[in-house]
Chain A
Amino acid sequence: MKRQTRWQRFKTNIQPRIKELKFSLRRIRGSPLSIVGIAIILFFAIIAILAPVLAPPEYPDKPYRIPRDGFSPTPRPPSEKHQFGTTEGQFDIYYGVIWGTRTAFTVALMVVGATVVIGIILGSIAGYYGGIIDEIIMRITDIFFAFPHLILAMAFVTAFGASLDSVMKALILVWWPSYARLIRAEVLTVREEDYVEAAKSIGSSDFRIIVKHVLPNSIYPILVMASLDMGAVVLVAAALSFLGLGAPVGYADWGQMASFSRNWIVGPPGEPLAYWYTVVIPGLFIFFFVLGWNLLGDAFRDILDPKLRRR
């Protein structure tokens, strides 16, 4: 038999995975909603990346500080100078939502990223080793599951002091149990498979087994959950900022900007919708951002569901 180079061997091994990937991509292309989702996310990603270009910061070392055009409390409608108008305190809405996109991505990626990592570590340990470690970790997740995300996060944020950092820390603390549970379940399924037995019998270390066999097979549900959570995290973070427990006044955060609008829901008599832009615009950004991730996550779920894959 001819000796194959490592590269050739790698290519052969990866063939079936590529085939599955191609099939998945074909399914994605066939589902219009998932394309819409991807488009939306790309749109926001571009805004986030191009933020300094689209909305040059007034304070270069503090780009998240929204520039103020005066101190008058009354919001002013969209104009040449302020494309989306200004909100209470004369903060420029356009600037706020552009840089708010960056904030949203930062918060979402940090929280989801951290929780996935923590979840993988704890979930793999719990699922793979079982026994008392599993029991302990599972009981702890049980306790966390007794609380809605928002409410438990509120408690943590109050303890840490209201700020965006506190929000992120609190959300990580609140969100990790879902992933630990998910990964543990996957590990439990895979653990019983024959190829794991085979790997063990040839002396692979536990770590190697987890990384090489268990994780690649559990990646799909993680993908689905992570996509959906990108949106869910932003919703909770925005809510916390809206309630006054997150980003400080004047910070470019969608929730924080929406909180300004509370006093301006009803305009002067005869012009009740006068200040619509303070309410509608920040909220619209949140809505579409979350919608994009929800569409993507949903599409992933449909695509990766083995029962539905080949109808």
Chain B
Amino acid sequence: MPKLVGIKDLIVRFYTYEGVVKALEGVNLDIEEGETLGLVGETGSGKSVTAFSIMLLVPPPGKIESGKILFREQGKMLNLVEQGEEFMRKIRGDSISMIFQEPSAALNPVYTVYDQISESFWIHRREELIKEVLKKLESEIEDAKRRRQGFRKWVLEQEVKIYAKMLKNPSSLQVRACQKIPFIKNFRKRLESEMRKRVVEILRDMEIPNPEGVADRYPHELSGGMQQRVVIAMALACSPKLLIADEPTTSLDVTVEAQILDLIRKLKREYGSSVLFITHDLGIIAEMCDRVGVMYAGNIVELANVREIFENPLHPYTIALLEAIPSPRAKRLKPIEGTIPSLVDPPPGCRFHPRCSKRMDICSKIKPELKEVRKKHWVACHLY
């Protein structure tokens, strides 16, 4: 399968009051087209930072120091780090989308569901929508001609003019003025009805009952599960190639979680997107993902197929993670010794070595590289 995303040696640092946080220290990751890649790790391992980096949305005081983020856009692999903000704005929400952990936080409380989903359409599909409207206007003008409705024809022609202008330059003074003047601003109704159609359609796709009604609701009027569906709708509105899901079910009830996961699986098939699924829950990984990357303290330590990871974990951290899953047979829990290292002053060499039961001398000196140890199974560990 062709590659969609290629992250090479990504280094991201945060310049905070307390010091420089070395969040990502040379991350290497690939996402193939049509696959679901899981990214698992504890809090603070750098999963979310990786996700934000792909969209170049690392919040200040963070900065992408070096590395490449390759993305297949229009047949070519482009390095997103080199692209300008304007280019990225076209990508965001269109080619790459993101859904978040807290759906109630991701939705603006003072705007309706319709407002927020239609925004995506407005930003990325404006031309398409206006062309639809113009087509309809053309056929209505024909109709008016036939029925010799002179006045109606004239009104319609004015609308065509405004929409044509909007097509060319939506923020021009004329267009903005037209939107404020009482009667004239009704022309927007056509556009809004087009957008509304699409919004309702996508809400229906999300298996939301009564999509018409929900479109006019405010976020706080919906349950957590519904809110998350709305967020997913916003993300999938423009059929992105890559959907980044940052712990989308962590804040939801277990039953709702199952529904949302089912939904994501179904939509992935329908929309043909790749999914980067970030979570700390190995169970979800097992259910949802084709491949898995294990992250620890800003590095990918293991990367393989889901089955491989569960059947043949190689990196000591992965092994420990799997062993730490509570099991009814075990008599006691097996936590991993120690705590996550400070990212301001990380341990030298392999960042896991202080907690590793199999550590060797070399582990505290040289950082291990990600090597393909078995077929399609990469590990970053000196044991191999």
Contact = CB atoms under 8 A, between A and B. Distances in A.
Interface of A: 310-311
Nearest to A30: B17
A22 to B, nearest CB: 16
A146 B16 CA distance: 45
Contacts of B18: 310
B21 to A, nearest CB: 12
Interface string B128-149: 0000000000000000000000
4 contacts: A310-B17, A310-B18, A311-B16, A311-B17
Contacts of B17: 310-311
Interface string B4-21: 000000000000111000
Contacts of B16: 311
Interface of B: 16-18
A278 B18 CA distance: 51
A20 B16 CA distance: 20
The secondary structure that dominates the A interface is loop
Contacts of A310: 17-18
Nearest to A311: B17
Contacts of A311: 16-17
B209 to A, nearest CB: 40
In the complex, the 3 A-B pairs of residues with the closest C-beta atoms, listed nearest first: A311-B17, A311-B16, A310-B17
B38 to A, nearest CB: 32
A310 B18 CA distance: 8
Contacts, number: 4
A310 B16 CA distance: 10
A311 B18 CA distance: 8
Nearest to B16: A311
B376 to A, nearest CB: 43
A197 B18 CA distance: 36
B282 to A, nearest CB: 32
B330 to A, nearest CB: 34
B17 to A, nearest CB: 5
A311 B17 CA distance: 6
A130 to B, nearest CB: 30
A221 to B, nearest CB: 24
A311 B15 CA distance: 11
Nearest to B61: A311
B322 to A, nearest CB: 35
Nearest to B17: A311
A274 to B, nearest CB: 53
A310 B17 CA distance: 8
A308 to B, nearest CB: 10
B18 to A, nearest CB: 8
A286 B52 CA distance: 52
B343 to A, nearest CB: 16
A155 B163 CA distance: 64
A70 to B, nearest CB: 61
B29 to A, nearest CB: 30
B170 to A, nearest CB: 39
A311 B16 CA distance: 7
A40 B302 CA distance: 60
B16 to A, nearest CB: 7
A303 to B, nearest CB: 13
B312 to A, nearest CB: 43
A311 B19 CA distance: 11
A310 B19 CA distance: 12
A311 B61 CA distance: 11
A121 to B, nearest CB: 40
A68 to B, nearest CB: 57
B271 to A, nearest CB: 40
B319 to A, nearest CB: 35
A139 B113 CA distance: 41
A131 to B, nearest CB: 33
A204 B18 CA distance: 41
A257 to B, nearest CB: 46
A311 B60 CA distance: 12
A194 to B, nearest CB: 26
A311 B14 CA distance: 12
B257 to A, nearest CB: 31
A38 to B, nearest CB: 22
B182 to A, nearest CB: 40
A305 to B, nearest CB: 14
